[in-house]
Structure 1
């Protein structure tokens, strides 16, 4: 019996490659950069399944260029699928799955790291030491803000948002506010669900953990920054397009907020010089799920989805 032909669009942890090779007629693209539209259209014709990741943009134009797709499933490596046009995929008869559970803990950890770095001006301090210009301790050097006992406002109370809430409450005694589209409770955490405007007005730290896509694009815009407190910090571990970067830069320029800490960017991987050159912004290169265990688990979950699909079952993480 012929094994389904699978394309993995970028190199992944070795155990993922090894297992994939036992299940599929496997091709691994060696380039670590994003694929082109032409590459993706060709892949739809040449493979039964594709294991893509963020940056592999399956736009309507990619599907429109394919008269009859051989590919039957896109098993996305990652929780977010905003880079895949789900309606166009469905129109082409292609299923889409994701890997939500594997990213949860590491991304919540990173959110807390960013929050702490921004509050305590850790990026500035590290750059000062590396520059060789540090002259030694003094009483008013790089004074930051207390985290313990402060108020965190979490926008989006899904898996990652709940884990951020647990870490903030249990680890730092933070008061937890959250905004979510539907009513939600966080087991084991005293958390108050409030409208977004109230959250923005009250929080010392606003942490974004919402999905990407049209519904959340520029959720944090000029008006949102006007509502935030001058002492507040913004942390984004969701998707870059959730924040209007031009509005963020204006808010920082005008000292409407105290700082920002970002792991994702509106036009990733491009990051404006107006952000890169600031001391009051922490910038990381999309490290949310970047642990050995998490990335291997993401790959294995994607393969679980593929195995179920080709077995004739409904994959646990099917999104379209």
Structure 2
């Protein structure tokens, strides 16, 4: 019987689908990644693996798993996977595009509004019993309506985010490798990275992580932004030089930041972002709605079943 390794607990109905035909091993410590040693040991004779972004599928792992046919990654991104090594070993890599687009764009919009209106800071003041009453500029934030929004990475999530901005009468700029017809239909304008930073009141990073995009947002990038501008990241943490962002926020070089992703996750209370009033921080929940996570899991399971049964992956990366 072919073996499937799943590195986190998933919906039991989907586990049952796999268990009808395959041996299924599940790491059930849901809040913690499968330890590397356990991952390598369990995948040594595996035919399929359902992975998370925290699981590194590299040369060592692939060499260690000669029977492996397919890796289904529970994410749109796949920067945890060595695609070249997988191709050399004829291992199919699949991801979960499209099913999480709207949910992630919704979270990005939530971050932008939360940062703009100082929602977390205001809530903390009230919860701490420090609200002393109303005054004209008490917790005064900034409007989003009518502002200029810059989007770095106009893929499906960027387009979905831009579509939501139409209701706020925003001017949308974006920087991308190529022009997006969908973005143009929404009235968004392709521009240089520098021009986007200089002109935008809010800057969203929604790009995939590549060698070219890693650490794009550094000291120079933040210096180009308006002092009142807010930076939002729902792409990958490694797009940002975190020390440079912390300094830009603390010094007032930019107005604030709202993040769902970090270069090394999870972060702890000692992280330099923690404790900054104008920093909104979430624990990587971009696609975390019950319906979306179930859809992602189902797509991963279907990719595995298709490949192990001699078919083609539904959403192959390569």
Shared fold, TM over 0.5: yes
Q: TM-score range by the shorter chain?
A: over 0.9
Where does residue 185 of structure 1 map in the other structure? 181
| SS of structure 2 residue aligned to 1:102 | coil
- Structure 2's unaligned 5+ residue stretches are none
Where does residue 42 of structure 1 map in the other structure? 41
Q: 2:172 is matched with which residue: 167, 173, 176?
A: 176
Counterparts of 2:175 and 2:314 in 1: how far apart (Å)? 27
| SS of structure 1 residue aligned to 2:20 | helix
Q: Deviations over 1:280-318 (max 9, x none)?
A: 000001010000100000011112211221233321311
RMSD: 1.6
Distance 1:299 1:23, change over 3 A: farther
Q: 2:288 is matched with which residue: 287, 290, 293?
A: 290
Counterparts of 2:21 and 2:101 in 1: how far apart (Å)? 27
For the Cα contact (< 8 Å) 1:38–1:62, is it kept in 2? no
Counterparts of 2:243 and 2:209 in 1: how far apart (Å)? 18
CA shift for structure 1 position 41: 1.9
Q: Does 2:59 match 1:30? A: no
The count of aligned residue pairs is 315
Q: Deviations over 1:210-265 (max 9, x none)?
A: 01232211011111111111111000001110111011012112211000000000
CA shift for structure 1 position 132: 1.3
Q: 1:229 is matched with which residue: 220, 226, 245?
A: 226
What does residue range 241-280 of structure 1 map to in structure 2 within 5 Å? 241-271=238-268, 273-280=271-278
Counterparts of 2:20 and 2:62 in 1: how far apart (Å)? 29
Where does residue 70 of structure 1 map in the other structure? 67
- Structure 1's unaligned 5+ residue stretches are none
For the Cα contact (< 8 Å) 1:41–1:63, is it kept in 2? no
Counterparts of 1:43 and 1:228 in 2: how far apart (Å)? 48
Q: Deviations over 1:122-171 (max 9, x none)?
A: 010111111111112221101100100001111111110000000112x2
